[in-house]
Amino acid sequence: MFPDHLIIDFDSTFITKESLDELAHLVLLNHKDGVERLKSIKALTLSGMEGKIPFDLSLEKRIALINTNKNDIKQISSELSKEVSLSIKKNKLFIKKNSSNILIFSGGFKEIIIPIVSEYGINEKQIFANQFIYDSIGNVIGIDKNNNMSKKSGKVLMIKALKLSGKIDVIGDGFTDYEIKKSGLASNFYAFIENINREKISQLSDKALNSFDDYINIVND
Ligand SMILES: [Mg+2]
């Protein structure tokens, strides 16, 4: 049976890529320190996800390295809409049918995520992610630090704040997704290995999913 709540991670799970890395590539491609900055950002993403450094520190440092604005963000969201994971795309109807029970938990940014998942029947209220702060002409000048997702173990803080009831499954590829189950507030954590197979995360999971089909088989069993 489909759970009361299915929490799906966005980066490297719902889509094949890391949205902030892609935004960084777009912005920094022609920047004079672009190559160096991109290397630092990639390393910070991995360290944050594998739990080697706190997520809040990883995010803050990455945003400081990316000098971005509203137009870039619109463009990257449109490009990433073509990068939805293969098995998610394939099961669009199943996801739409169950969309009222699906939540997106992401350390990424709402503005990038909304246009992509809305195609799958998942609306803004079901998306829990970070938010940029802009100046009057649309440049990003920071992130909303009051948002749980900007903090260390943000996904755990968020699920605690939501006070969800019933059976909760989590699907994701990173350490922060596993942490939701570790907190005791989710029934199952499934490692999503269609895009990236992190051995440490698979070992911590109840089961590794080669694709979203594997999850459908579990709930239909
Ligand atoms: Mg992820």
Where in the chain are the domains? 5-220
Contact, 19 vs 10, CB < 8 A?
Answer: yes
Measured distance CA(21)–CA(63) in Å, rounded: 10
Per-residue model confidence as pLDDT tens digits over 164-200: 999 999 999 999 999 999 999 999 999 999 999 999 9
What's the CATH class of domain 5-220? Answer: alpha beta
pTM for the model: 0.92
pLDDT tens digits along 99-120: 999 999 999 999 999 999 999 9
**Strand intervals (E) in the chain:** 5-9, 102-109, 127-130, 132-134, 140-143, 168-172, 188-192, 207-209
| Residue 87 CB partners (closer than 8 Å, separation 6+) | 194, 211, 212, 213
- Residue 44 C-beta-side C-alpha neighbours within 13 Å: 21
Cβ within 8 Å of residue 98, ≥6 positions away: 2, 6
Distance 9 CA to ligand 1 centre (A): 6
- The CA 106 to ligand 1 mean position distance, Å, reads 7
Distance 16 CA to ligand 1 centre (A): 9
CA–centroid distance, residue 137 to ligand 1 (Å)? 31
Cα-to-centroid distance, 110 and ligand 1 (Å): 14
Question: What average pLDDT score do residues 58-73 get?
Answer: 90
Q: CA 116, CA 75: separation in Å to the nearest integer? A: 12
Q: Which pLDDT band holds residue 46 (cuts at 50, 70, 90)? A: confident
pLDDT attached to residue 152: 84
Q: Which residues hold their Cβ within 5 A of ligand 1, which is an ion?
A: 9, 11-13, 173-174
